[in-house]
Amino acid sequence: MTRDLTQSFKTDPAAPRVPAPGNALPYTPSAPRTAPSSNATGSVAFPDGFLWGAATAAYQVEGAAHEDGREDSVWDVFAKVPGAVLNQEDGEVACDQYHRYPADVALMKDLGIKAYRFSTSWSRVVPGGREVNPAGLAYYDRLVDELLGAGILPWLTLYHWDLPQAIEAESNGWVNRDTAYRFRDYAVTMHEAIGDRVDVWTTLNEPWCAAFLGYTGGQHAPGRQSREDGLAAAHHLMLAHGLAVEALRERAPDANLGITLNFEVEDPLNPDDPADVDAARRLDGGFTRIFADPILRGAYPLDVLEDVREYGLEQHIQEGDLEIISTPIDSLGVNYYHGNAVAAVPAERPLDGGAPVSRPSSNPFPGGDGAYTHPRGLPVTTQNWEVQPEGLTRLLLRLQQDYTGPRGIALYVTENGSAYDDVVGPDGFVDDQERLGFVDVHLRAVKDAIDEGADVRGYFGWSLLDNYEWAWGYGKRFGLVRVDFETQERTVKASGRWYGQVARANAVPERSAAPVPYPTGDDGGDKAVPTE
């Protein structure tokens, strides 16, 4: 293994880590930007050292779901529930990265990608949540060595939703506080095995989805539909994060530690209507502040506690929990796909962003009754997610100002991307100009935020490969690289080639087409709940 990374992603162990202030923030509406910025056209250079990466997650790409000792995760079981996943597809084989990782790493190196954000599977490393499985650990050992040998930074996430099924079935999953301590032990196990070579450790990916799509809405594994359970899971996921950060910091004071949260920018449809402002506040609270405030400010927002008062969240918050949850971190991962216009009444023409499965589901927001999202007449991806790059600019600036800036935490866009129906040409090539345009406008939006003061240090495209898109199965393709799921053949798409050039040049090239989409104000319908 050679180690040829252009820069270290370790942190300074002597740097002062600023404690959370111990208070939360109220919702303050902002408004969509209506004019293109100076970055909207022309070539746009990024700051020196900006990190260009691509992302995947274990269950979505690895396959080998029952090989070398791996046992069921909640997703293996959920995928078999009738009507839960389109075509009842599962991650048994996925992109077979478990066997094909050398070729995938070589592909990234060829493209010029500098960092690989992947997740480790708890169900592979500690099958059934019981004994450590050396064969499972050995896979990540090989993967990390392969990455380092190719000069690619391993950006490791410990949890991307694949809880060992035994912990769900026998111990009540994330509803049980004990799962947070078991997660900490698993984090330490991973660090003991590969902490000598991995500098960047992300505890959780998108706890909102794990807690509220998993335990309240039922759109994701384990598919429960309980407001009480979702809130308990959210608290215990955050506790797990804090416990893991404490344990990893003790083991490696210079590791770069963080968490990835998903964000939507919630704007009141009519900013002059107090009912719409309150509806936007509820979704902002239930999506963003319920995680960002405890983790980065050390307190639950009072309005959120009020919104969910009847569902028992507070009974799970023990003395000292918020100190653990707000243990200082170094980096915040930001996943952004779209924003919402929110009103207190439903829109006329619904635009549903969730997977069209037959299994009934519920509103994932415990405090979100009476809040409805409305389309704004923006272009949409094939999942009906609106393309709203200016929301990313506003989001990054808000995070910088209210959460990360005062504590010296760096921002990384750890996921951003789009599903479009790819057309394979006669030569096998996918000329995915829509996806290329999507990445282009979002990178320009990131640069807008940097120019206005956000400390954004990297961007990871979602996704390196077409993969298993949860309840959508294999039908929605997000890859910069196409995967033929019959043959496992990989073909770099136009967007992938373009992204590689961006990474090599550290700049987005000039582009005459693709005007940045801005809201038209057309209230076309209602997208009841966000369900990525």
Residues within window 473-502 making contact with ligand FCB, judged by CB under 6 A: 478
Q: Decide if 206 is catalytic.
A: yes
Minimal distance in Å, beta carbon 337 to ligand FCB? 6
Residues within window 184-213 making contact with ligand FCB, judged by CB under 6 A: 205-206, 209
- For 514, the 3-state DSSP assignment is coil
Minimal distance in Å, beta carbon 415 to ligand FCB? 6
Minimal distance in Å, beta carbon 435 to ligand FCB? 13
Q: How many residues bind ligand FCB (CB under 6 A)?
A: 13
Which residue, judged by CB position, is nearest to ligand FCB in the bound state?
532
- Asked if 388 interacts with ligand FCB (CB under 6 A), we say no
Angle between helix 494-505 and helix 97-111 axes, rounded to 10 deg: 60
Between 324 and 439, CB nearer to ligand FCB: 439
Give which of 97, 336, 346, 363 is closest to 219, Cα–Cα: 363
Is the Cβ–Cβ distance between 443 and 389 less than 8 Å? no
Q: Could you say which of 462, 474, 498, 499 contacts ligand FCB (CB under 6 A)?
A: 462
Between 148 and 445, CB nearer to ligand FCB: 445
Q: What's the longest Cα–Cα distance across the chain?
A: 63
Between 383 and 393, CB nearer to ligand FCB: 383
- Asked if 123 interacts with ligand FCB (CB under 6 A), we say no
Catalytic, out of 206, 266, 390, 532: 206
Between 84 and 209, CB nearer to ligand FCB: 209
Residue 77 has φ and ψ, to the nearest 5°, of -80, -45
Between 75 and 403, CB nearer to ligand FCB: 75
- Asked if 219 interacts with ligand FCB (CB under 6 A), we say no
Tokens of 330: 């170094």
- Asked if 415 interacts with ligand FCB (CB under 6 A), we say yes
User: Rounded to the nearest 10 degrees, how much is the dihedral formed by the CA atoms of 375, 442, 425, 103?
Assistant: -130
Minimal distance in Å, beta carbon 364 to ligand FCB? 12
Minimal distance in Å, beta carbon 196 to ligand FCB? 28
| Burial class of residue 254 in the structure, from the number of CB atoms within 10 Å of its CB (0-12 exposed, 13-18 middle, 19+ buried) | middle
- Asked if 347 interacts with ligand FCB (CB under 6 A), we say no
Catalytic, out of 168, 266, 415, 469: 415
Residues within window 85-114 making contact with ligand FCB, judged by CB under 6 A: none
State the pairing for strand pair 340-343/372-374. Answer: antiparallel
- Asked if 440 interacts with ligand FCB (CB under 6 A), we say no
Is the Cβ–Cβ distance between 85 and 149 less than 8 Å? no
Q: Decide if 71 is catalytic.
A: no
Residue 17 half-sphere exposure, CB side, CA atoms within 13 Å?
Answer: 20
Using CA atoms, how far apart are residues 382 and 420, in angstroms rounded to an integer? 5
Cα 446-452-458 angle, rounded to 5 deg: 35
Using CA atoms, how far apart are residues 275 and 271, in angstroms rounded to an integer? 9
Using CA atoms, how far apart are residues 152 and 381, in angstroms rounded to an integer? 30
- For 430, the 3-state DSSP assignment is strand
Q: Could you say which of 75, 212, 215, 470 contacts ligand FCB (CB under 6 A)?
A: 470
Provide the annotated active-site residues. 206, 415
Q: Which residues bind ligand FCB (CB under 6 A)?
A: 57, 60, 205-206, 209, 262, 335, 415, 462, 469-470, 478, 532
